[in-house]
């Protein structure tokens, strides 16, 4: 598991959403959206690596879009390829987190509120990155609690 201040990444064919967490690894917040349309994947990875340096992160969590049955398809392979590029550029530890339904959940929340239209659709990517990172942080906290409980006599 990756710890400390982390960067969450939601990769997509059109946009890549970014989020960061606080230094204690408790709360994830949206950071930025990087447009991907028409740009080489290496350039997008360069932009994300720059944001990671600027944010002072200690690790990266990339959403892994698994199929509903848990298998890895084309989108998961794309996320892993992006992760390899990002790891090579940053030298930071990298983790993948199952992102099934993260964008769908964010879209549902946006539609149920007052955010609609093109601007709301654009916000899905950074909010999805925050949802992925928050789920990772929550899972890490539960694992840490379980481990400390197991060590307590």
Reported as a single tens digit per residue, the pLDDT across 12-57 is 889 999 999 998 889 999 999 999 888 899 999 999 999 999 999 9
Residue 146 clears pLDDT 50, i.e. is over it: no
- Sorted by sequence, the CB contacts under 8 Å of residue 31 that are 6+ apart come out as 7, 18, 19, 20, 51, 55, 126, 129
Helix axes 102-112, 117-151, angle to 10 degrees: 120
Pairing state between β 6-10 and 59-64: parallel
Residue 123 clears pLDDT 80, i.e. is over it: no
CA 18 centroid distance within chain: 6
pLDDT of residue 112: 55
What Cα–Cα distance (Å) separates residue 127 from each residue in 87, 145, 150? 23, 27, 34
Mean pLDDT of the 92-96 span: 96
Answer yes or no: are the C-beta atoms of 58 and 4 closer than 8 Å. yes
| CATH class held by domain 6-151 | alpha beta
Q: State the CB neighbour count (10 A cutoff) for residue 51.
A: 18
């Amino acid at each position: 598991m990756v710890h400390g201040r982390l960067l969450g990444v939601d990769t997509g064919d059109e946009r890549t959403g970014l989020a960061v967490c606080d230094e204690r690894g408790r709360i994830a917040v949206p950071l930025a959206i990087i447009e991907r349309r028409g740009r080489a994947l290496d350039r997008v990875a360069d932009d994300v690596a720059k944001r990671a340096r600027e944010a002072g992160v200690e690790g990266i969590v990339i959403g892994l879009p698994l199929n509903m049955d848990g298998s890895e398809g084309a989108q998961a392979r794309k996320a892993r390829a992006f992760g390899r590029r990002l790891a090579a550029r940053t030298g930071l530890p990298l983790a993948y987190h199952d992102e099934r339904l993260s964008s769908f959940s964010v879209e549902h929340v946006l539609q149920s509120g007052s955010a609609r239209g093109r601007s709301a659709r654009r916000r899905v990517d950074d909010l999805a990155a925050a949802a992925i990172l928050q789920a990772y942080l929550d899972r890490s906290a539960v694992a840490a609690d379980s481990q400390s409980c197991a060590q307590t006599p």
